[in-house]
Amino acid sequence: MYNHILVPVAPDHINDCSQSLDAASRLLAEGGTVSVLSVLEELPSYIGSYFPPDQVRKSVSEFEDKLSSAMDTPKMATHVVTGHPTNSILDWAEKHKVDCIIVASHQPGLSDYLIGSTAARVVRHAHCSVVVLRGK
């Protein structure tokens, strides 16, 4: 059983994460916490210059509201950060002393035959246990 479980959820898969959340609830120790993290990728500088300066902050705020309303349970804390998905997941997990990451993997393409590329990098570089859930 784990005391702090991180469930990364891709912004476009908020409604498809029930399998990951179910696994987290099964692996969670009594009194433990599940943190749901979504990473919004930063805009490249050549595109960002076309948006208002506070656009990223506004997008993060709006997405935090959407994520927290979708994950409306008392044992789950929601968080939204910007950056590269793999690096942000690993950094957040280490900074917040996560002892297990539950990451979903999509159906593979030719370039990532065994598991998805983000899931594969999390598995290789995480300093804690990682559970990979295979998509359908």
Q: Which among 103, 128, 82 is positioned nearest to 9, based on CA atoms?
A: 103
Burial (Cβ within 10 Å: 0-12, 13-18, ≥19) of residue 112: middle
pLDDT value of position 105: 80
Give the tens place of pLDDT for each residue, 3-55.
999 999 988 888 888 899 999 999 999 999 999 999 988 777 788 778 887 88
Could you tell me if 38 and 93 are in contact, meaning their C-beta atoms sit under 8 angstroms apart? no
Distance of CA 135 to the CA centre of its chain: 15
Q: Which amino acid makes up residue 62?
A: E
Residue-wise DSSP of 4-34: EEEEE--GGGGGG-HHHHHHHHHHEEEEEEE
Give the tens place of pLDDT for each residue, 72-121.
666 789 999 999 999 999 999 999 999 999 998 865 554 445 556 888 89
DSSP SS3 for 88: helix
What pTM does this model have?
A: 0.85
- Name the pLDDT band for 127 (thresholds 50, 70, 90): very high
